A and B are shown apart, each in its own frame.
Chain A
Amino acid sequence: MLKLIARLIKVLNSESDPAQISLALCLSMIVGFTPTYSLHNIFIFLIVLVLRVNLSAFILGYVLFSALGFILDPAFNFIGLKLLTSTTLRGLWDWMYNITILRVERFNNSVVLGSLVVSLLLFIPLYKVINVGILRYRDHALKWIQKTRLAKIIKASKFFKVYRSISSLRASQ
């Protein structure tokens, strides 16, 4: 985990595209919030592997969003149930229910639908927020942080040694 965080910080501090990190975190949100064994998650894993998104950010995001999803499950259940029992959407659900692939997706489960809808709604806003956040971090916060006493303490810590060792390893490759 320590290595994972170190890798993420290294990517944050590097010149790599912020979109790769934001996209990885947004995709991890979908996998983390929704039940793992859902059909859409296989598709997400495929995207994560095929697209050049940051894997460390994805794995770390998955751990964080899974924990958050566990807490938010009752809310997902509530939202999903409200949507599934809504009379205005009945026609849509009836149509979807009779399509095999969507039944495999298990959209008719309150937690699956609730968590998927919430994560899809948050996807674009979160993507933009993280993107802006990374850029601002690189422009302003990074320089300021490096000067702080805390950063100096961290630099003297075991964590920083790990971070450095990864950096040097990458450099030698």
Chain B
Amino acid sequence: MKQLRHWIRLKGLVAFVVLALAFLGLWYVFVDNLIKYSIEKLGTRALGAKVELEKADLTLYPLGISLVGLKATNPDKPMENAVEIGKACFTIDTSNLFLHRTIIDDMSLETVRLGTPRKTSGAISRHRKVRKAAAKKEKRHGLVTTLLPGHGFLKPPSVEQILENENLETTALIHSIESDIAKEKKLWKERLKSLPSHKKIEEYRKRIKRIQSSTKNGNINNILANLQEIQALKQDIIHDISNTRRTLTAFDKDYTRLKSRTVELNRAISSDATRLSKKYSLSAQGLSHVTQTLIGPKVYTWGAWCIKWYKRLQPLLQRNKRHENGVELVKPVRINGIDVHFKENNPLPDFLIRHASVSVNTSAGTVAGEIRDITPDQDILGRPLVFTFTGRQLRGVNSVRLHGVLDHISPANTSDRMDFSLKGLQIRGMALSDSKDLPVIIKTGLIDMKGKVSLKGERLEANVIARLSSARIETTGSSKGSFLQQAICSSLSSIKGFWVKINLKGTLNNYKTSISSNLDKVLASSIRNAAANQFQLLRKNLYSAIINRTGGQIQEINTGLKDMLGTRSIITQRMGNLTAILNGMPQGTINNGNLLPFQR
């Protein structure tokens, strides 16, 4: 007993209880602020922009939390909240909380507003740099897009801009001719060395003089010997003349070839001008896609916005899991180490919101909806996320409906689909095209729209059809614009309604947008002549600009060719000298040993 008393400290038990109670008391006092701080810290880290919360309140029975004034900044627009939630209440399954699982049975989000303005910037410095880099990249991409065919045809890029960004066939040809001329010059410099030199010609003359002087002596032996010498000399000269003639023929052939290449230059300039005019002005093919050009940028922006937000919300649907020896390894967010998940008798995800009812306040009224089964572990739950939002009798809209299923049950075979419809949307002053060159505004009109979007694995497909009726379209700046702009403006003003079909196909990172509309036909017929005029004008300007740009190089080529004619003069001069020597020689030959008469 004494030994036991030596080891047991009963006061310690009391101290433990007091400490535990004190800890729980302190926790209860500060827990609201702890929750607020945690939501703000983790939310900001996850979103990349400030997340703020006015107040958090914890209730112990039943265990639940209510959050008031939750604001999440739009990471792309720091002076705007992406979402603002007036009040969020939810109850938490206590038994699962002990198993480190957050299971929310029911959640209600009241007064949800999107895109509300902020008084102070919600940007955080670490993400500012990343966004700047992204914006720079986008800007660069934008510049390329404006230079692509079919875009910006209303005001094509300047001739200088086009020539800066394009490779010209003319320039390539000039370089090729220049190097050809240089090569030929070098070659002919070498070949001239093989022609009979002045020294050799002088030698011929000396030999003739020698023969003439020895013949004057009248010695019959000398005469016979000289006859043989004359024959040999004549053979040599004739051989040289023949060689020189062959050289001249070869030169003429080369020269003619080079000359004909310079003629090709004119054809290349013309071809470059035509090709680039076709590329940067509205072609016959482009005429059938006017709508794509007009509203394409807007559709591209909408598409990019949707994809960006889908990617941001993706961690809510599926998390990266690693497997080793058949067990699942999950990296928890808040503590070190790796959590290993084993087979459970009643498996449940680590985080789950079974049901959330949401009411979104828009300027048109309230759109109510519900979301079921929000979890990053759909593979464990075995159910996809399903959401439905509806709004009826709103201001300026008859009805809105949005329904979607985000199925990540099988991570290797995900399938997300969403369909939406919007009926009787009253339009007032909606910009159809934000282009500075051709701003198109629908002053009044009614839009009915429906669409389907699906993402199966990496494969994205979206089809949207919108119908505009009772429309009044206004275009500004028509009087100042080109004749093409004027033609489009006049056609658009008389249109009362049209339909547009938008199709997106590809992957999230690389998709193609195609837009078709009955607007194309109407516009195409009215702007055909204007487009042809624009093409001719651009071609003419490009032709002159290419000539101006390459004029100096063409001049150099012509000078080079002229220089080569000097080589021809040398060859003809040598041939003339040799012919003159031959003509001035005594005529005669040995014929069967008989002496033939010759004269000087």
Write out the residue numbers on chain A whose beta carbons fall within 8 Å of the beta carbon of B143: none
Residue A81, interface by CB 8 Å: yes
Write out the residue numbers on chain B whose beta carbons fall within 8 Å of the beta carbon of A103: 98-100
Q: How far is the CA of A154 from the CA of B136 in the complex (A)?
A: 66
CB distance A93 to B342 under 8 Å?
yes
Write out the residue numbers on chain B whose beta carbons fall within 8 Å of the beta carbon of A76: 337
CB distance A84 to B327 under 8 Å?
yes
Write out the residue numbers on chain B whose beta carbons fall within 8 Å of the beta carbon of A85: 324-325, 327, 329, 340
Write out the residue numbers on chain B whose beta carbons fall within 8 Å of the beta carbon of A108: 339-342
Q: Nearest chain A CB to B234's CB is how many angstroms away?
A: 103
Q: Main secondary structure on chain B at its contact with chain A?
A: mixed
Q: How far is the CA of A90 from the CA of B7 in the complex (A)?
A: 39
Residue B345, interface by CB 8 Å: yes
Q: Main secondary structure on chain A at its contact with chain B?
A: helix
Write out the residue numbers on chain A whose beta carbons fall within 8 Å of the beta carbon of B98: 100, 103-104
CB distance A52 to B340 under 8 Å?
no
A78-98 near B? 1/0 per residue, CB < 8 Å = 001100111100100110011
Residue B335, interface by CB 8 Å: yes
CB distance A50 to B335 under 8 Å?
no
* Centre residue among A87, A104, A109, A112 by max chain B CB count within 10 A: A109
Q: How far is the CA of A99 from the CA of B118 in the complex (A)?
A: 49
Write out the residue numbers on chain A whose beta carbons fall within 8 Å of the beta carbon of B327: 84-85, 90, 93
Q: How far is the CA of A86 from the CA of B338 in the complex (A)?
A: 15
* B-side interface size class: 20 to 34
Residue A159, interface by CB 8 Å: no
Write out the residue numbers on chain B whose beta carbons fall within 8 Å of the beta carbon of A17: 6
Which of B8-16, B284-292, B531-539 interfaces with chain A? B8-16
Within 25-75 of A, Cβ neighbours of B (below 8 Å) are at: 35, 45-46, 48-52, 73
CB distance B336 to A111 under 8 Å?
yes
Q: How far is the CA of A108 from the CA of B341 in the complex (A)?
A: 7
Q: Nearest chain A CB to B101's CB is how many angstroms away?
A: 9
CB distance B338 to A52 under 8 Å?
no
Write out the residue numbers on chain B whose beta carbons fall within 8 Å of the beta carbon of A100: 95, 98-99
Residue B332, interface by CB 8 Å: yes
* Cβ contact of B13, chosen from A49, A77, A94, A114, cutoff 8 A: A49
Q: How far is the CA of A17 from the CA of B3 in the complex (A)?
A: 12
Residue A22, interface by CB 8 Å: no
Q: How far is the CA of A108 from the CA of B99 in the complex (A)?
A: 11
Q: Nearest chain B CB to A150's CB is how many angstroms away?
A: 35
Residue A119, interface by CB 8 Å: no
Q: How far is the CA of A58 from the CA of B10 in the complex (A)?
A: 18
Write out the residue numbers on chain B whose beta carbons fall within 8 Å of the beta carbon of A112: 337
Q: A98-B345, A104-B98 are in contact. Are A49 and B16 (CB under 8 A)?
A: yes
Write out the residue numbers on chain A whose beta carbons fall within 8 Å of the beta carbon of B345: 98
Within 100-117 of A, Cβ neighbours of B (below 8 Å) are at: 100, 103-104, 106, 108-112, 114
CB distance B16 to A46 under 8 Å?
yes
Can you list 30 contacts pairing A with B, beta carbon distance less than 8 Å?
A17-B6, A35-B336, A49-B9, A50-B9, A50-B13, A50-B16, A51-B8, A52-B6, A73-B337, A77-B337, A80-B337, A81-B338, A81-B340, A85-B325, A85-B327, A85-B340, A86-B325, A87-B326, A94-B343, A97-B342, A97-B343, A98-B345, A100-B99, A104-B99, A104-B100, A106-B339, A108-B339, A108-B341, A109-B337, A110-B338
Residue numbers of A with Cβ under 8 A of B are 17, 35, 45-46, 48-52, 73, 76-77, 80-81, 84-87, 90, 93-94, 97-98, 100, 103-104, 106, 108-112, 114
Residue numbers of B with Cβ under 8 A of A are 6-10, 12-13, 15-16, 19, 95, 98-100, 324-327, 329, 332, 335-345
Closest 6 CB pairs of A and B: A111-B337, A49-B12, A97-B342, A84-B340, A110-B337, A85-B325
